[in-house]
Amino acid sequence: MLLQLRQLPILFLLHPILALSVPMVDQVQRAEELLSSHWLSQAQTQLRERLARTKDSIADVRQAKNVVMLLGDGLSITTLTAARILKGQRRGGRGEEAQLAVERFPFTGLSKTYCIDEQTPDSACTATAYFGGVKTHSGTVGQSGSGERVDSVLQWAQRAGKATGVVTTTRLTDASPAGAYAHVSRRGEELEIARQLVEEEPGRNLNVILGGGLGKFADERRDGKDLLAQWRESNPNGCFARSLKELRNCSDATGTLLGLFSDSHMSYHLAASKELPRLCDMAAAAIEKLERKSQEDGNGYFVFIEGGRIDHGHHETRVGYALDEMLEFDAAVETVIQMTDPRDTLVVVTADHSHTLSMSGYAKRGTPILGMGAQQRDVNGVPYSTLNYAIGKWQSLDKDGRRESPSKTLSPTSYTPSYIHGRKGVHSGEDVVVFAMGPQSHMFGGVMEQNLLPHLMGYAACLGNSVTLCNQDTDADLTA
């Protein structure tokens, strides 16, 4: 008897082995998904649908002069919740009642993060989606699945005459910040990414560049290039900083701002020297610089600010690091709110992908989020922590392979228990949150494909050649 398609989900529940034996409908890569035009057109269709859905209910005619995009790398919903509790507990409260800066944003949505070849994405294909509006292969930055160059929304902003900046706590050549300016088929080509940042558009036109990764510009190179020297030669009025003090001393400089605060990724905040800037310090310096440039030419700015080491804490399955980095990100969001005007500045906060952190059990109100409740025990009476990972380095097992209480090893920087033994923590594929405030922020509600994000920002700020607030009644080029 032939199976009806509508019966398959029930049969899979009753007989899971059927899920392995029945051919899937769409296992072959659709050729159109390899093309930039497919994803750009798809995003524009979503944009027009949102315009039709909201035009009668919300009358927001404001154009965004400035756009601030903040990305928490690996910022899952569980991370948000746990960090909120930690924030409150650090202040002496029970924790659950605390509030993160993003909770004051009026509009919230969900973003679907898959790549064209993976259910669970990496930070390269996601960067190409939320910067360039095109979904691509895992590991690919700034190129479509067929190898076409994909321009980022920062380049759209530069073409509109806006000042631009990139700020991160990772190497500036890491996948997420690289999505703003680079075009490589493999994210590991960081020496080439560094070259593109200094020598090619839009990287060489950035007004603010702050993060880590000095080694990729000089010491680690084997091609004889000294990219830092090249940058100085190309920016004779620029200001270069290696510390918080030097960053502050650059505040009066008239030229481009470059800060490289570590040879590789910047240190975790919990382990960092006080001589180095925090993410909120870099965010403040960037907005101050870009706002001054905007006042000179009147065109506004676009800046990308990333809390990149949330993801690294999760990969190490050290939840104390991850949550502290999330609170550093929260401080940066608060800084941006205080320094910008929602009447002319669109602020968007989101993540590239999720992580496998879970918050489980029935811990009593006020239980330390990095600890465990006394009543939380498994069937053998062994206590378990509130926060755990699905996959990671450490399983909290005794020498005989039996699970033991993690209480002796729990600390802000210790490994967090995981269920499956892996070399490191891994990403997870569920949707991530999008928060928005400012002009046209109502467009960011509901569930969306991740590659819609730059089109929404472009719509609000009149960037790019597709449908925007300034040309929505015209026949714009949907694939531009």
Q: What are the C-alpha distances in Å from 160 to residues 299, 457, 480? A: 8, 13, 14
Burial class (CB in 10 A: 0-12, 13-18, 19+), 51: middle
Structure-block tokens of residue 445 = 């509600």
427 labelled as ligand-binding? yes
Alpha helices in 308-387 (DSSP H): 309-315, 319-339
122 labelled as ligand-binding? no
Sign of the torsion angle spanned by Cα atoms 434, 435, 440, 446: positive
| DSSP run (H or E) holding 112 | strand 107-112
352 labelled as ligand-binding? yes
Q: Which of 221, 228, 153, 158 is nearest to 192 (CA)?
A: 221
Q: Omega into 106 within 30° of 0, i.e. cis?
A: no
Note whether 71 and 305 are within 8 A (CB): yes
Structure-block tokens of residue 287 = 């907005």
353 labelled as ligand-binding? yes
Q: Where are the beta strands (DSSP E) in 245-356?
A: 257-260, 301-307, 345-351, 354-355
Active site residues: 123
At 59, give phi and psi (nearest 5°).
-105, 80
Q: Which of 353, 349, 277 is nearest to 311 (CA)?
A: 353
306 labelled as ligand-binding? yes
Annotated binding site: 73, 174, 176, 306, 311, 315, 352-353, 427
Annotated binding site for Zn(2+): 73, 311, 315, 352-353, 427
Annotated binding site for Mg(2+): 174, 176, 306
